Amino acid sequence: MKYLAFAVLIFPCFVNAAVDGDVWSGEFELGYVATGGNTNESSLKSKIDLRREVEPWRYEIHLEGYNAESDSGRSAEKYFASNRLAYTISDGHYVFGYAGYEDDRFSGFDYQATVAAGYGRRLLQRPDMKWEAEIGPGYRVTKVGDTTQGEEDSEEAILRLFSKYRWDFSETASYLQELSMDKGGDNTVSKSVSALKSRIIGNLAMKLTYTVEYTQDVPNNKKHADTETAVSLAYEW
């Protein structure tokens, strides 16, 4: 069932991208990632971001995943997908819809699925600097990986907070920061993604990313914080 939900989430974006290829832009990453927290492994990681902007609409798709194996079997495996749709209602103001799905086999959760909608504001809109923030209600479904440990699946209303910042501090280098918080009555999940990107040649860039994800309430014997440090090559189009 969870794989059907994952397919429903991402399939429309590839259909639309194929039909309207001229209005889509994006970035593909492939690189090395070292994880900490519930898994301590290093492996290859791939990520793709697709963007379509035809005013007043903006559509963003994000897909990423990695896995690692050792002599004793699979030691790390994580997949994440999200869709984000925004509609501009006036200069600097917009409404948004969001859907996200995370499958982390070593977090103690089988999967977490989130939907949210609300209000967004472009706080900065300069040639070298952009910053936007969002707030809105949502709903989260959490399924634990092992119910024999006394943990229970949950469904709850949440408040989603999100911020995205980009600073092009030179002609070839950028700093990017994303912060999100999905706050519910039973659990709160916070995530920070910080990245430095430097163009090497043409559309090819080197990217250094540090990610921290903190879950307030975790299954037994699991850690609250997971970290990722990634070095990757990124191709933009």
Is the pLDDT at 233 greater than 90, yes or no?
yes
Q: What is the pLDDT of residues 34-76, one digit of tens each?
A: 888 877 777 888 999 999 988 899 999 999 988 766 555 565 6
Q: pTM for the whole thing?
A: 0.84
Is the pLDDT at 234 greater than 80, yes or no?
yes
Residue 113 CA to residue 115 CA, distance in Å, equals 7
Report the chain's mean pLDDT, rounded to a whole number.
Answer: 85
Residue 192 CA to residue 175 CA, distance in Å, equals 13
Q: Is the dihedral angle over the CA atoms 10, 62, 81, 43 positive or is it negative?
A: positive
Q: Is the model more confident about 19 or about 130?
A: 130
Average pLDDT for 105-120: 86
Residue 212 CA to residue 223 CA, distance in Å, equals 12
Residue 150 CA to residue 99 CA, distance in Å, equals 28
Average pLDDT for 157-166: 98
Residue 187 CA to residue 158 CA, distance in Å, equals 9
Average pLDDT for 30-37: 87
Residue 98 CA to residue 119 CA, distance in Å, equals 11
Q: Of the candidates 172, 150, 169, which has an alpha carbon nearest to the alpha carbon of residue 221?
A: 150
What is the model's pLDDT at position 55? 87
What is the model's pLDDT at position 72? 58
Q: Residues of 200-236 as b/e, b for ≥16 C-beta within 10 angstroms?
A: eeeeebebebebebbbeebbeebeeebbbebebebee
What is the model's pLDDT at position 1? 43
- Which neighbouring-strand residues pair with 162? 134, 180
Is residue 28 within 8 A of residue 207, CB to CB? The reply is no
- Which neighbouring-strand residues pair with 47? 29, 64
Q: What is the pLDDT of residues 193-204, one digit of tens each?
A: 999 999 999 999
Phi, psi angles (nearest 5°) of residue 147: -75, -10
Q: What is the pLDDT of residues 162-176, one digit of tens each?
A: 999 999 999 999 999
116 dihedral zone (left: phi>0; alpha: psi -120 to 50; beta): beta
Which residue has tokens 């492994």?
41
Is the pLDDT at 155 greater than 70, yes or no?
yes
H/E segment holding residue 115: strand 109-125
Confidence label for 130 from pLDDT (cuts 50, 70 and 90): very high
Q: Of the candidates 178, 180, 230, which has an alpha carbon nearest to the alpha carbon of residue 206?
A: 230
